[in-house]
Amino acid sequence: MAIKETLDRIREEALSAIKAADAESAIEDLRVRYLGKKGELTAILKQMGTLPAEERPLMGQLSNDVRKDIEALIAERSSELRQKAQELRFRAEALDVTLPGTDPHIGSRHPLETVLDDIKEIFLGMGFNVAEGPEVEFDHYCFEMLNMPKHHPARDTQDTFYINDNVLLRTQTSSVQIRTMLAQKPPIRIISPGRVYRVDTVDATHSPIFHQIEGLVVDKGITMADLKGTLAEFIRKLYGADIKVRFRPHHFPYTEPSAEMDMECFRCHGEGCSLCKGEGYIEILGCGMVRPEVLEGCGIDSSVYSGFAFGVGADRITMMRYGINDLRVLFENDMRFLQQL
Amino acid sequence: MNAPVSWIKEYTDLEGISVKELCDALTMSGSKVERWTCEADEIKNVVVGEVLEMHRHPDSDHLWVCSVNCGGDKPIQIVTGAQNVSTGDKVPCALDGALLPGGKTISSGKLRGEVSDGMMCSLGELGLTVHDFPDCIEDGIAILDPSAEPGSDVCGVLGLDDTSIEFEITSNRPDCMCVSGLGREAAATFRKPFRFPEPQIRHASGSIEGMLSVKNETPENCLRYTAAIVKNVRVKPSPMWMRQRLRLCGVRPINNIVDITNYVMLEYNQPMHAFDYRNVKDSEIIIRQAREGEHIVTLDDIDRELTPDMMVIADSEKPIAVAGIMGGEYSGTYDDTNTVIFESACFNAVNVRYTEKGLGMKTESSVRFEKGLDPENTLRALTRALELVEELDAGDVVSGFVDIKGNIPERRTLLLEPEKINAFLGTDLPAEEMVSILRSLEFEVSDDMTVTPPSFRADILLMNDIAEEIARFYGYNNVPSTVMTGVATAQLTERQHFEKDLAMRLVSAGLYEVKTYSFMGTRTLDLLNEPSDGELRNAVVISNPFGDDTALMRTTLLPSMLEVVSRNVNARVASGSFFEIGVTFHAHEDTNELPDELKDLVIASYNSLGFYGVKGIVEDICRNANTETPVFTALTDSHLYHPGRAASVYVGDTLIGTMGELLPSVAANFNIKEKVTAAVISVEKLFAVRGGVRRFTPLPKFPAMTRDLAIVCDISVPSGAIEREIRIACSDILESISVFDVYTGDKVPAGKKSIAYSLVLRHKDRTMTDDEADTAIARSLKRLERIGASLRS
């Protein structure tokens, strides 16, 4: 039974050598030594021919078992070692996760543009196209066709920069509404965002240049209830579904009825705080039903069509959104400001 | 417009309604309350004290030690330095812990050893002036009415406990610029009756007949002129109740005659004027346009030149008042005035506005006239003034009045169509409710639904105006909110989308967007070295600018961008890269033509991107717009850029902009020492040369060959030229060419440079062989010989 003894010995030797091996390369050496073409087990198999025929299957079986045992242990041990090596590598590669990430070097949009974009998106979703028009504008479009002839007292509230008697820097983007109504038949649903100019000295809340978004709807059967529903929806989309609004009578020469919309102070929710000056509400926009004279002036039959118009100050909304307490900051463009928002 | 609550309450029953409720309700019905104040809120624990005894302070020759009955069980001791107090006087005493206007507090103490348990107050210490209390003196203790009850709150005694409400009155509602008008709104708001009794004259005597002649020579501008005469005028302070109301409305009491005119203005919204009869030459008043070159010295002592567009009140000789705005120097009332003419007139609003503008002045009177007053109101207001003259015993009213009418516009009528109004508002209001609201506002509504608005409501012209009145008192917040019906689709235009995409691209490239003012100064372009005949000089000029540095509309975004850079450099921000997309304005010769408004993009970077960084961004936005590959040509003669670090940017034949490092002198003009690289790109042109949607090129099926070439050439040879030659030589097998190194130094001859290119060569339909690649390279080198470039050995 020399072969059997030899096989047992090989198994014993191999298994203890594999167990002792501490590197994958050592395992490989052992695999070659025992299982390789010139390995010990192969050498034994070559002696099988010398065995009596009845012993051969038994020895064959035994040598297979030995091979399997060795293979199994090699697989197990090398997996262990790989695992161990990997653990070591991971330990060596470990990073200080508290170190800062790499700056992706991305700039930012100006907060005013972000707000304008948000507002545009809300109105696009409600079917309003975005209309644009010139900033240097005819008096005719900015005032006269909006029911504010040359000596109208309401012009006092919009102190104007003039180029000459007929040309001025628009004080409101309502001029775009006039241009749209002259160019397009109802139904009309537009907003007109843009720069407007008024003679106002610069301070924390005033600027000779600011940004407005005005809107106009003209169609058959447009009601004041539509105005209220649309604008309340706009504010809910901008500030959240639970924001309450209220409408107060006001006066604009080109709308009647006219209103100002207040929204419940988003900071104190109506309790009254420093932001809303104790009122619980913040004035947010002006609006109203377009006066028939304005429609007729643009060639729209006011007995068939009605509409509403509104105007929002984007600068104020930007200031409120980001908690900016000084309008000048928006136009100073300090990097440390731009990087914050 | 300020109005005391007690006065508003005279016109309607507001019993049980708090000031806050009143203010909230009026705000919601259209008379917006800005704020309300009560003088008494600033005065606490100041009571009436009766001086019982007073004796000299033992240690002072000017102080008095007084025993004062302040209503308590026993008198208190107060030390005062005032010399106008006598035993028996009633005086305001600030007790221990008292609060005075301005937040001053009073506490007990000792004055040179004598206990003083309070302080006697002067008018000033109570926030008042002798105009409010003419019986008192400026620099002494305020002596109160002898009937004042010791211990009672001085605020009640002095009438400081009333609340004054400040309203924002819109320009369409001059009728609310008076207390009765606000009373009418309050009555309608609370659905209470409005009380506004007709004024009565009781003791008129004599006749105005023959005393005064009035001629209206300008009936277009003077719609109505009424006047009356008061003789034996007794000029004196008006009574406390009147002074108090005037004060709370922000009007300073003067004397009974002036106060009456102001009181009537505040009550009726009818500005009035009182002329001294002596100073109206020939007892003749002529309402006419001013004559060319005519002058008047107005009550404020300013000599004003008049023009024929302005209306004056004149006597037979000269203007005595600028109609509706201000009286002349001789037209006031004086202590020795014996007879006055009260004027109550209605002038054309536009004319008054014109005159205000021409003279550069606004008055309490003119801000009312400019909004359009009610011609029906003049006589009633005049009668009210005379009623007050009698009530105040300010003179003897002469019977009769003058009433000259000009071109009074006809009263308008409208048809009330409830179903139309409901359809317009989106409401379902019964007709009766509408009628009831309108009637509460003194609109006449006949059975056939004809509506005649009151004469003081010139703003009511159309159905919309009626609808607003109804909505205001029904409550804007009771009008339902609905979602608009009808299909509407909307999207950004291609151009709008392009601009948004451009901005987002620049943001992802690491730039910060800025927004700057659209103005520039007359000298701004000098800072950019712009030639005096340069294109950018074609600016739109503002006729009424703030100042020289904001007098023009900008023709370039660069200066304001450089101000941003400068501000950041000054704020010690280490580096910065910015962009702005904005409008530039380019004037036409005829200023009645609107200027061209063109959108530009400006980029600027300091201590960050440098020339190639900015160039990379310009290339990227072109790639993003899918234009042809932009070509950068050296720009060596710019007045703006470094001659060796600037380029013109072309897409095909279109010059879309320029870029480069700014000349140090230009940067210095903006106080910038750092190197600034900038690009100015026309968004209009970039949009014009944009490509369509990018098309997909199938991924290559065959492997590529890579060849690196180091080319040596004169320093002056542009890389672009070398690249061009290689492209021609390799033609369609050149997939890409990129520069990976540029070297000048010891290892190449002086005056030479070495540029290392990496070429990727590939056939579309088969594997490229080494031989083919070598041939292409050989062809390239051959071509490069022409421009003096060769392979680096």
Separation between Cα atoms, residue B321 and residue B285, nearest integer Å: 10
- Mutation target for A interface from B484, B514, B561: give the one with most A CBs within 10 A: B484
Separation between Cα atoms, residue A259 and residue B783, nearest integer Å: 76
Residues of B in contact with A154 (CB under 8 A): 171-172
| Contact assignment for A189 to B571 by CB distance below 8 Å | no
Question: Tokens 């007084």 label which residue?
Answer: B66
For residue A254, the distance in angstroms to the closest alpha carbon of chain B comes to 11
Residues of B in contact with A225 (CB under 8 A): 425-427, 479-482
Beta bridge partners of B758: B708, B738
Separation between Cα atoms, residue B498 and residue B36, nearest integer Å: 51
Residue of B32, B350, B468 lying closest to A256 (CB–CB): B468
pTM for this model (two decimals): 0.87
Closest Cα partner for B582 from B648, B509, B639, B502?
A: B502
Query: CA angle, B288 as apex, B286 and B294 as ends, to 5°?
Result: 105
Separation between Cα atoms, residue B461 and residue B451, nearest integer Å: 11
Closest Cα partner for A314 from A122, A106, A145, A148?
A: A122
Is the pLDDT reported for residue A156 higher than 80? no
CB B348 within 8 A of CB B387: no
Q: What pLDDT was estimated at residue B75?
A: 92
For residue B507, the distance in angstroms to the closest alpha carbon of chain A comes to 4
Separation between Cα atoms, residue B262 and residue B342, nearest integer Å: 12
What's the Cα-to-Cα distance from B101 to each of B124, B140, B148, B160, rounded to whole Å? 9, 17, 22, 12
Separation between Cα atoms, residue A19 and residue B271, nearest integer Å: 114
Round the CA-based radius of gyration of chain B to a whole number and report it: 41
Separation between Cα atoms, residue B768 and residue B757, nearest integer Å: 19
- Per-residue pLDDT of B44-98, as tens digits, reads 999 999 999 999 998 888 899 999 999 988 999 999 988 899 999 999 999 999 9
Closest Cα partner for A244 from A275, A224, A268, A274?
A: A268
Residues of B in contact with A332 (CB under 8 A): 564, 567
Separation between Cα atoms, residue B331 and residue B350, nearest integer Å: 25
Q: What pLDDT was estimated at residue A48?
A: 77
| Contact assignment for B540 to A161 by CB distance below 8 Å | no
CB B54 within 8 A of CB B87: yes
pLDDT tier for residue A58 given thresholds of 50, 70 and 90: confident
| Contact assignment for B508 to A110 by CB distance below 8 Å | no
Residue type at B304 in one-letter notation: R
Residues of B in contact with A127 (CB under 8 A): 487-490
Question: Chain A within 8 Å of B478 (Cβ-Cβ)?
Answer: no
Q: For the residues A42-50, what does the mean pLDDT come to? A: 80
Is the pLDDT reported for residue A46 higher than 90? no
Q: Please give the backbone phi and psi of residue A118, each rounded to the nearest 5 degrees, phi first.
A: -60, -45
Nearest residue on chain B to A160, alpha-carbon basis: B544
For residue A177, the distance in angstroms to the closest alpha carbon of chain B comes to 16
Residue spans per domain, chain A: 2-93, 111-338
Q: What pLDDT was estimated at residue A270?
A: 80
Question: Tokens 């609006």 label which residue?
Answer: A287
> Can you state the angle between helices B431-440 and B463-474, rounded to 10 degrees?
90
- Mutation target for B interface from A224, A231, A250, A285: give the one with most B CBs within 10 A: A224
Q: Please give the backbone phi and psi of residue B559, each rounded to the nearest 5 degrees, phi first.
A: -60, -45
Is the pLDDT reported for residue A1 higher than 70? no
Tell me which fold the domain A111-338 belongs to.
BirA Bifunctional Protein; domain 2 (3.30.930)
Residue of A163, A232, A289 lying closest to B464 (CB–CB): A289
Pick among 3.30.56.10, 3.90.550.10, 3.40.50.300, 3.40.50.920: CATH of B414-478: 3.30.56.10
- Per-residue pLDDT of A67-110, as tens digits, reads 899 999 999 999 999 999 999 999 999 999 999 999 889 999 99
CB B474 within 8 A of CB B429: yes
| Contact assignment for A219 to B27 by CB distance below 8 Å | no
Residues of A in contact with B550 (CB under 8 A): 208
Residue spans per domain, chain B: 2-39+163-189, 44-158, 213-405, 414-478, 494-688, 705-791
| Contact assignment for A335 to B506 by CB distance below 8 Å | no
What the block records as the tokens of A25 is 């390369």
Does the B213-405 domain belong in CATH 3.50.40.10? Answer: yes
Nearest residue on chain A to B20, alpha-carbon basis: A279
Q: Please give the backbone phi and psi of residue B388, each rounded to the nearest 5 degrees, phi first.
A: -70, -35
Q: For the residues A107-126, what does the mean pLDDT come to? A: 96
Residues of A in contact with B577 (CB under 8 A): 107
Is the pLDDT reported for residue A40 higher than 90? no
- Length of chain B, in residues: 793
CB A334 within 8 A of CB B567: yes
Buried residues in B121-160 as b, exposed as e (16+ CB within 10 A): bbbebbebebebbbebeeebbbbbeeebebeebbbebbbb
Residue of B349, B507, B573 lying closest to A107 (CB–CB): B507
Separation between Cα atoms, residue B373 and residue B457, nearest integer Å: 9
- Per-residue pLDDT of A252-300, as tens digits, reads 999 999 999 999 887 888 888 887 877 888 899 999 999 999 999 999 9
For residue B302, the distance in angstroms to the closest alpha carbon of chain A comes to 24
For residue A97, the distance in angstroms to the closest alpha carbon of chain B comes to 25
SS3 for B595-612 is: CEEEEEEEEEEECCCHHH
Question: Which residues are CB-neighbours of B716 under 8 A, at least 6 positions away?
Answer: none
Question: Which residues are CB-neighbours of A60 under 8 A, at least 6 positions away?
Answer: A48
Residue of A120, A135, A292 lying closest to B464 (CB–CB): A292
pLDDT tier for residue A3 given thresholds of 50, 70 and 90: confident
Q: Please give the backbone phi and psi of residue B210, each rounded to the nearest 5 degrees, phi first.
A: 85, -10
Residue of B464, B510, B578 lying closest to A257 (CB–CB): B464
Separation between Cα atoms, residue B735 and residue B236, nearest integer Å: 102
CB B773 within 8 A of CB B705: yes
Question: Which residues are CB-neighbours of B303 under 8 A, at least 6 positions away?
Answer: B295, B296, B297
What is the assigned CATH class of domain B2-39+163-189? Answer: alpha beta
From the number of C-beta atoms within 10 Å of its C-beta (0-12, 13-18, 19+), residue A333 rates as buried
What the block records as the tokens of A203 is 């301070």
Separation between Cα atoms, residue B149 and residue B93, nearest integer Å: 13
Residues of B in contact with A162 (CB under 8 A): 542-544
Q: What pLDDT was estimated at residue B522?
A: 86
For residue B234, the distance in angstroms to the closest alpha carbon of chain A comes to 39
Question: Chain A within 8 Å of B484 (Cβ-Cβ)?
Answer: yes
Point out the residues of chain B with pLDDT beneath 70.
none
Within its chain, how far is the Cα of A59 from the centroid? 73
Residues of A in contact with B512 (CB under 8 A): 107-108, 110, 333, 335, 338-339
Beta bridge partners of B344: B226, B272
Chain B 620-679, CB below 8 Å of chain A: which residues? none
| Contact assignment for B479 to A251 by CB distance below 8 Å | no
- Mutation target for B interface from A333, A336, A337, A341: give the one with most B CBs within 10 A: A333
Closest Cα partner for B671 from B567, B551, B515?
A: B567
- Length of chain A, in residues: 341
Residue type at B413 in one-letter notation: T
Closest Cα partner for B582 from B598, B606, B604, B563?
A: B598
Listing DSSP states for A87-121 in one string gives HHHHHHH---TTSPPPP----B--HHHHHHHHHHH
Separation between Cα atoms, residue A242 and residue A43, nearest integer Å: 86
Closest Cα partner for B395 from B255, B240, B198?
A: B255
Residue of A151, A249, A257 lying closest to B353 (CB–CB): A151
Residue of B424, B484, B492 lying closest to A230 (CB–CB): B484
What the block records as the tokens of A3 is 């072969």
Residue type at A148 in one-letter notation: M
In chain A, the largest separation of any two C-alpha atoms, in whole Å, equals 130
Residue of A257, A293, A306 lying closest to B471 (CB–CB): A257
| Contact assignment for A223 to B482 by CB distance below 8 Å | yes
Asked if the domains B2-39+163-189 and B705-791 are classified in one and the same CATH topology, the answer is no
Beta bridge partners of A306: A219
CATH architecture under which domain B44-158 falls: Beta Barrel (2.40)
| Contact assignment for A189 to B354 by CB distance below 8 Å | no
CATH architecture under which domain B494-688 falls: 2-Layer Sandwich (3.30)
| Contact assignment for B480 to A292 by CB distance below 8 Å | no
Chain A to chain B Cβ contacts (< 8 Å): 239
Separation between Cα atoms, residue A260 and residue A246, nearest integer Å: 8
Tell me which fold the domain B705-791 belongs to.
Alpha-Beta Plaits (3.30.70)
